[in-house]
Amino acid sequence: MFFAEIQGESVSISVLGWLGLAAAIAACAWLRRKHASSRRIYQELFDEAPIAYHEIDRRGVVRRVNRAECQLLGLSPCEMLGRPVWEFVSEEERETSHRAVLRKLAGEQPLAPFLRAYQRRDGRKVLVEIHENLIRNGRGRIVGIRSAMLDVTEREHARGQMEAQARELERANRELAEALAASRRATQLKDQFLANVSHEIRTPLHAILGMADLLATTALDAQQQEYLRGLRESGQILLELINDLLDISTLEAGRLKLECAPFDPCEVLRSVAELMQLRAKAKGLELTCRLDPRVETRVLGDAGRVRQVLLNLAGNAVKFTERGHVRLSVTCTGESHRHLRLRFTVEDTGLGIAPEHQAILFESFVQGDGSNRRRYGGTGLGLAISKRLVELMGGRIGCESRLGEGSTFWFELELEKAPRADSGRPTCPEPADAAAPKPYRILLAEDNPINQKIALKMLEQAGYVAEAVNSGSEAVEAVKKAHYDLVLMDVQMPGMDGYEATARIRHLEGTHRHTPIVALTANAMEGDRERCLAAGMDDYLAKPVRRQDLYETIRRWLSSSEATMRVTVTLSGSENRERRGTARSE
- What pLDDT, in 10s, does the model give residues 24-40? 887 888 878 777 777 67
- What CA–CA distance (Å, rounded) separates 383 from 362? 5
pLDDT at 425: 45
> What is the Cα–Cα distance from 586 to 579, expressed in whole angstroms?
11
More confident residue, 340 or 361: 340
What integer pLDDT is reported at residue 65 of this predicted model? 92
Say what the pLDDT of residue 362 is: 81
Contact assessment for residue 250 and residue 256, using Cβ atoms and an 8 Å cutoff: yes
Residue 235's pLDDT band (boundaries 50, 70, 90)? confident
Phi, psi of 492 (to 5 degrees): -90, 105
Please tell me the predicted confidence (pLDDT) of residue 102. 94
Name which of 444, 451, 447, 449 is nearest 467 in CA terms.
444
pLDDT(586) > 50: no
Rounded CA gap, 476 and 504, in Å? 7
CA distance 435 to 559: 14
Range of weakest confidence among 171-180, 254-263, 273-282, 539-548? 254-263
Average pLDDT of span 274-299: 88
Q: Mean pLDDT, to the nearest integer, of 156-179?
A: 92
The reported pLDDT for the residue numbered 220 is 87
Query: pTM of the prediction?
Result: 0.54
CB atoms inside a 10 Å sphere around CB 202: 23
Residue 225 has pLDDT above 70, yes or no: yes
- Calculate mean pLDDT across residues 525-547: 87
Helix (H), strand (E) at residue 550: helix 547-585
Percent of the chain with pLDDT over 90: 45
Q: Please check the confidence at residue 580 and state whether its pLDDT lies above 50.
A: no
* 223 pLDDT above the threshold of 60: yes
CA distance linking residue 558 with residue 515, whole number of Å: 10
Under a CB-based contact definition with an 8 Å cutoff, are residues 482 and 441 in contact?
A: yes
Residue scoring higher pLDDT (177 or 356): 177
pLDDT for position 16: 63
pLDDT at residue 177, as a whole number: 92
Cα 52–Cα 57–Cα 62 angle in degrees, nearest 5:
45
Predicted confidence at residue 251, as pLDDT, reads 74
Q: How many CA atoms lie within 13 A of 478 on its CB side?
A: 24
Which among 230-244, 342-356, 375-389 has the top mean pLDDT?
342-356
SS3 250: helix
Strand order of the β-sheet with 52-57 is: 62-65, 52-57, 142-151, 125-136, 114-119
Looking at per-residue pLDDT, the higher value among 523 and 441 belongs to: 441
- Average pLDDT score over the chain: 83
Find, among 461, 451, 474, 460, the residue nearest to 521 by Cα: 451
H helices present in 343-471, as ranges: 355-358, 370-376, 382-392, 449-461
Mean pLDDT, rounded, for 294-313: 89
Angle between helices 547-585 and 449-461 (to 10 degrees): 60
The dihedral through the CA atoms of 427, 430, 431, 437 has a sign that is negative
Q: Reduced to 3 states, what is the DSSP secondary structure of residue 115?
A: strand
pLDDT at 508 over 70: yes
pLDDT value at residue 146: 93
CA distances from 53 to 37, 49, 63, 375 (A): 21, 8, 11, 90
Q: Is residue 518 left, alpha or beta, with left meaning phi > 0 and alpha meaning psi from -120 to 50?
A: beta
Instruction: State residue 575's pLDDT score.
Output: 46
346, containing H or E segment: strand 339-348
The number of residues in the chain equals 586
- Peptide bond connecting 544 to the previous residue in cis, omega within 30 degrees of 0: yes
Residue 577 has pLDDT above 50, yes or no: no
Specify the pLDDT at position 553. Answer: 92
Q: Comparing 423 with 479, which gets the higher pLDDT?
A: 479
Residue spans of beta strands (DSSP E) within 137-237: 142-151
Q: What are phi and psi of 326, to 5 degrees?
A: -130, 125
pLDDT at 5: 52
Residue 470 makes CB contacts below 8 A (sequence gap 6+) with: 445, 446, 447, 452, 493, 494
Average pLDDT for residues 160-189, to the nearest whole number? 89
- The tens digit of pLDDT for each residue in 116-134 reads 999 999 989 999 999 999 9
**pLDDT greater at residue 49 or residue 5:** 49
Name every residue whose Cβ is closer than 8 Å to that of residue 549 and which is 6 or more positions away in sequence: 541
